[in-house]
Structure 1
Amino acid sequence: MKLVRVSLLAALTLGACRVSDNTNNSEGPKTAEATVAPILTTPDAQDLHSYARPREARVTHVALDLSLDFETKRLGGTATLDIDRKADAKEIVLDDNGLEIQSVVDASKQPLPYKVGANDQYRGSPLTIALKPDTKRIVITYKSAPDASALLWLSPEQTAGKKAPFMFSQGESINNRSWIPTQDSPAIRQSWEAAIHVPAGTTVVMSAPRIEQPITQGGESVFNFRMDHSVAPYMIAIAAGDLAFKSLGNRTGVWAEPATINAAANELVDTEKMVAAAEKLYGPYRWGRYDVIVLPPSFPFGGMENPNMTFLTPTFIAGDKSLVSLVAHELAHSWSGNLATNATWNDFWLNEGMTTYAERRIVEELYGKKVADEQVALGVDALDKAVASNGGPGGGDTRLHLDLKGRSADDGTSDIAYEKGAAFLRTIEANVGRERFDAWLKGWFDRHAFQPVTSAIFLADLRQNLIKGDKALEQKLMLDDWVYKPGVPSNLVRPAAAVFAEQDKASTALAGGGTAPQAWANWTTDERLRFLNRLPRKLPKPRLDALQAAYDLNGTQNLEVRFAWLDLAVGSRYDPAVPSLEQFLTSQGRGKFVRPLFKALAKDVQWGRPIAARIYPKARPLYHPLVGRDLDKLGLQTVGKPTPK
């Protein structure tokens, strides 16, 4: 008998299994081409937002053959699923949200009985398919519903070019089950391929390499894609419309509507340099090309880190590259999130906190320490605000590892995940030194490439590969306090007060009756944001008049600055900003911008709510379902009356 010494990290991951043999005998990291990612079996890795039972039967590969219909707002065709199963498994359970299932057959085209279960407001429905003893492949014929939560269908008038319709998807967190019948859990990684049929003249891009030139025949074009790496299902993404392409470097490029392509390419000239900077920090980029698509202004997020093809909002185009840290963030996800992915949405911080930390390291590498330090300081401001809005230091949702049982998977997408997570990593770095921390972080991505991870796995890896039994360091880092306890631990490393000293002094002076600072012209975007965000939320009209006269904030094309201004204007009931507010809310659908403005307006029953009720019906058709779903709850169709609880 050979004695084996098992570490804590190994003990956590040995529970991971291929369904067919219930073991994971790997020695070190495996390549994506060599193996299917393991299923984690510890209780904290159980995904309560999926109906899947992957230890009995799991999806390993998805092959889509779908037709896109702009008129009916549907994707329809077949999804062929390869499965790994226990020999005695009688059924496989998939996730479904509004799919119209027409048939389910096996590889021999023999029918398989199936049932769609009751709908849950947060998870959708289970799609349970009976298995024969030899079933290894399932073919589902289906259509997505016209109101599928992942998809937004835009008329030509709602696009930048105004010439052709457009469609795009947003799968995170659990919305892809509204157009793909699979096990929609980040813990169940799957390779995939797709053949997409569209009207001739329409261009399709997906979050996977295109494997051949599109074939056009009889008024139809067919685009083919294949993702050989195993990815979390929410990373399967599609966009289709009138699109043009410009190269940004040897392995980078940008897609956008022809009306947007030149401005987008000009803003993105540093993308190739960003990839090189990220590789220097975190190891090889493993996804082949890094392309981006700048979507119509309805895209609900700043960006989405879909592999090979980051989806971006056009609201980052300021004309001076001052907002391209967004691109650095999405690129960083190619390591944190796409390589090592949170197994459940309770650990969303493992995706976003690590990425926010990495984003600022990339920014420092390319644009200097001062720029990075300012962004860190703005992040700490956002963290303080997020703690206050999530119940204060004792609020349960201020923990990194969350409890989302019985709640929406999206409830964890606050700045706690982003900024507390990033602050945690900065605190570790400050205590162990950058060189040592960088070596550990690069190793983390190597050890967990193409695999799901949990907070427990993260902490075990830290203890095994960085702390290495140093009890004094362990105590100093307060690891469990950061991850499992509410609030912000006392060892938080805050930025130096001098970072924004000039802007803070100017904010205090204006709040006390001073004039608009002339130094504004020389400030960066981040410095302008700090100045505006530090002003009292209720300023008298003469001071707001002075700001508008000095800087034309109602007309600024930097939408981050404009949002900060409009947030201040709404809080101060500043009527001269209302036309700018209306244009802002009806010309883009980024949730970060439109949600807080509409919520602030709706809360102000006498002044703001009538304004919101007038604007919202015009704005609503532009918004993705993820944004509209939240704002519909405000009941803005009822002027002057708060939404019933």
Structure 2
Amino acid sequence: MKKTLIIALSTLFIVSNCAEKKEEQKMQTYVNEPHSYAKPNEAVITHLNLDIDVDFDKKIISGTATYDIRNNNATEIVLDTKHLNIINVQADGKGTPFKLGEIDEQLGRPLTITINEGTQKISVLYKTTDKTEALQWLSAQQTADKTHPFLFTQGQAILTRTWIPIQDSPQIRVTYNATVKVPKDLMAVMSAENPKAKTADGVYNFKMQQPISAYLIALAVGDIEYKAISDRTGVYAEKSLINKAHTEFSDMEKMVVAAENLYGAYDWDQFDVIVLPPSFPFGGMENPRLTFATPTIIAGDKSLTTLIAHELAHSWSGNLVTNATWDDFWLNEGFTVYFEIRIMEALYGKERANMLALIGRQDLDDVLKTLKDSPNDTKLKLDLDGRNPDDGMNSIAYDKGYLFLRTLEETVGRKRFDVFLKAYFKEHAFSTTNTEDFVAYLNKNLLEKHNISFNTKEWIYSPGIPTNQSIIQSDAFENVENTLKAFINTNTIDAQSTNDWTPHEWVHFVRNFPETITVEQMETLDNTFNFTNSTNSYITMVWYEQAVTHNYHGQEVDAKIAEFLTTVGRRWYVTTIFKAYKKSDRVEEALEIYKKARPNYHSVTANTIDELLGYKE
């Protein structure tokens, strides 16, 4: 065929496919969502045009959020807000009545806007406040370069409503454009098409053409630079970190290729990572086109870059196919852990993949023990009505979800399972789904199709772990365990025998100390391997946990733990160590550290530690 004919046919197919997708979206029926005030079956947002100013002096974002809406003959539309100052509201360019409902501690306040049956556009003029939980304003001293302030957002699970008035339910997807005005010496980036250099006037324009859920709308502003890894991958970071980050994440393009070989084309055009200041509360956040990452994964040897594989995997599970409600969170994270480990296996081999899987399995055992008095929370399908959706963001969704999928793969065979998953992502692209719809799809397209029996309902709707679980083994970890046993029995260890150990082997070694380990043995290990001053944040975290648990301390150790807790805001890390203080009846000591550390934490981390330690301002 002639090139012009091919182009014409391709264009016709794309237009036709987009029309079908729009028709599907038009006919969508939304499920009841306990974590949003929105009534999307009556009136729902479809596109956001955001025009905002970022004021570092006042620590306020202000501007207008304008929405295209799909209106099912409604007389009102409801948005989610929390701690926002709503100044004015318009419908189709004219002022319209609006009302803010009563405040709920978790959900915020519904913003009910009067519209008519023909209304197609609304706009809200607003400002954030000092209670806005999604935003963290950092002083220059809290950044790597210590020369300019920094701002980043964290929307998951229901915090986007604290910086944008929006229908904040994962089942509601929108495209968006944004104009963001920032100080001239800073750069703004979003989960959208991004600049590669600073503008002269501090004005940045963004476009996200693929529909995404509200929790994935993200903004970062700082004195950052960009360095490409490939035509579609690269890193943003402060000047002092950009080269380290570029080297650490140099396998990003290989990861994208490995992921595409497994489950189909990467549909987001660009996959970049921004390294945020250490107060970022998570290891990473899978904001489309621009993953947010903690600097704690820069270890100098790529040993912690499995996190990048995890956030990349979200480009399929989570971003492309999204959980409809937070009760279905395992659909985002269980699939992502499974996919992450498959990517790591493809790039680095089965042994490394199994080490990662075994660490996750140990995390799962720890959480199962913690939740022994609330067995319903160990189900994959949760009931979080009346609770903070953060309550479901633990190893159950991640590692029980992974174990379910791994066991399923071993039952049906990897080849069949890969065909099934590839079709699942393709058929559900840019849509949301819930557990019940997934189970129906699984039965029809995999189990019944191949006449295979599997206890799917037990895995999803029952507490604990079924007996037909995958058994994960690692020869490397068996060697580590034997080395640890020998040390405990003899008080000696051959340092040369550990020369080739990976950081994951060291993590396994440290986190499996027996309860009987003595302070003297801890000191021997520290003198031999210098754990207290490790440059690998994961090893550091598990070592400090053990140091607190087994009362191994002294001036240097205590100072290092306090420094770590004060400078690192990654919730998993600091929660693990503060839990150790609480378990060891050292809460007062923990509170003294926390009082100094808390101003450096994002609200996501601070809220968790407040509850853990019983802290009140």
Out of 446, 461, 464, the position equivalent to 1:466 is 446
Q: Does 1:198 find its partner at 2:175?
A: no
Could you tell me how far apart the structure 2 residues matched to 1:141 and 1:316 are?
A: 39
How big is the shift at 1:531? 1.0
Out of 132, 146, 149, the position equivalent to 1:162 is 146
Out of 56, 81, 84, the position equivalent to 1:99 is 84
Secondary structure (helix, strand or coil) at the match of 2:567 reads coil
TM-score (norm 1): 0.90
Could you tell me how far apart the structure 2 residues matched to 1:106 and 1:228 are?
A: 24
Could you tell me how far apart the structure 1 residues matched to 2:229 and 2:552 are?
A: 42
Out of 457, 475, 482, the position equivalent to 1:480 is 457
Q: Deviations over 1:84-122 (max 9, x none)?
A: 1112x11111100111000001222x2111111111122
Out of 483, 499, 524, the position equivalent to 1:546 is 524
Could you tell me how far apart the structure 1 residues matched to 2:87 and 2:478 are?
A: 64
Q: Does 1:118 find its partner at 2:102?
A: yes
Could you tell me how far apart the structure 1 residues matched to 2:571 and 2:230 are?
A: 31
Distance 1:489 1:261, change over 3 A: same
Could you tell me how far apart the structure 1 residues matched to 2:304 and 2:349 are?
A: 15
Match of 2:49 in 1: 63
Could you tell me how far apart the structure 2 residues matched to 1:302 and 1:239 are?
A: 16
Q: Does 1:625 find its partner at 2:613?
A: no
Match of 1:532 in 2: 510
How big is the shift at 1:469? 4.8
Distance 1:635 1:212, change over 3 A: closer
TM-score (norm 2): 0.94
Distance 1:262 1:517, change over 3 A: same
Q: Deviations over 1:502-557 (max 9, x none)?
A: 11112223334532452332211111111111112463110010110011011001
Q: Deviations over 1:306-335 (max 9, x none)?
A: 000000000000000011100000000000
Task: Answer whether contact 1:248 1:271 (CA < 8 A) is retained.
Answer: yes
Match of 2:340 in 1: 359
Could you tell me how far apart the structure 1 residues matched to 2:278 and 2:27 are?
A: 38
Could you tell me how far apart the structure 2 residues matched to 1:144 and 1:603 are?
A: 38
1:582 is aligned with what amino acid?
A
Out of 565, 583, 590, the position equivalent to 2:543 is 565
Match of 1:349 in 2: 330
Task: Answer whether contact 2:587 2:613 (CA < 8 A) is retained.
Answer: no
Could you tell me how far apart the structure 1 residues matched to 2:589 and 2:23 are?
A: 56
Q: What does 1:206-245 align with in structure 2 at a 5 Å threshold? A: 206-210=190-194, 216-217=200-201, 221-245=202-226
Higher relative contact order (CA 8 A, sep 6+): 1
Task: Answer whether contact 1:291 1:310 (CA < 8 A) is retained.
Answer: yes
Q: Deviations over 1:551-577 (max 9, x none)?
A: 101100100000010010010111132
Could you tell me how far apart the structure 2 residues matched to 1:482 and 1:634 are?
A: 30
In terms of fraction of residues, the more helix-rich structure is: 2
How big is the shift at 1:452? 0.6
Distance 1:279 1:60, change over 3 A: same
Q: What does 1:180-579 align with in structure 2 at a 5 Å threshold? A: 180-210=164-194, 216-217=200-201, 221-391=202-372, 395-471=375-451, 473-474=452-453, 477-496=454-473, 498-518=475-495, 519-537=497-515, 539-576=517-554, 577-579=557-559
Could you tell me how far apart the structure 2 residues matched to 1:635 and 1:323 are?
A: 29
Distance 1:93 1:636, change over 3 A: closer
Task: Answer whether contact 2:407 2:470 (CA < 8 A) is retained.
Answer: yes
Task: Answer whether contact 2:357 2:472 (CA < 8 A) is retained.
Answer: yes
Secondary structure (helix, strand or coil) at the match of 1:401 reads coil
How big is the shift at 1:33? 7.2
How big is the shift at 1:499? 4.9
Secondary structure (helix, strand or coil) at the match of 1:352 reads helix
How big is the shift at 1:385? 1.4
Distance 1:550 1:35, change over 3 A: farther
Q: Does 1:610 find its partner at 2:596?
A: no
Q: Deviations over 1:32-62 (max 9, x none)?
A: 97557467647xx421100111000111111
Task: Answer whether contact 2:71 2:117 (CA < 8 A) is retained.
Answer: no
Task: Answer whether contact 1:377 1:499 (CA < 8 A) is retained.
Answer: no
How big is the shift at 1:599? 3.0
How big is the shift at 1:450? 0.5
Could you tell me how far apart the structure 2 residues matched to 1:67 and 1:149 are?
A: 18
- The root-mean-square deviation of aligned C-alpha atoms, in Å, is 2.0
Could you tell me how far apart the structure 1 residues matched to 2:34 and 2:167 are?
A: 12
Q: How many residue pairs align between the two structures?
A: 599
Distance 1:625 1:36, change over 3 A: farther
Match of 1:86 in 2: 72
Could you tell me how far apart the structure 2 residues matched to 1:402 and 1:111 are?
A: 41
Could you tell me how far apart the structure 2 residues matched to 1:32 and 1:269 are?
A: 38
How big is the shift at 1:123? 1.0
Where does structure 2 lack aligned partners over 5 or more consecutive residues?
A: 1-15
Secondary structure (helix, strand or coil) at the match of 1:50 reads coil
How big is the shift at 1:470? 4.8
How big is the shift at 1:136? 1.0
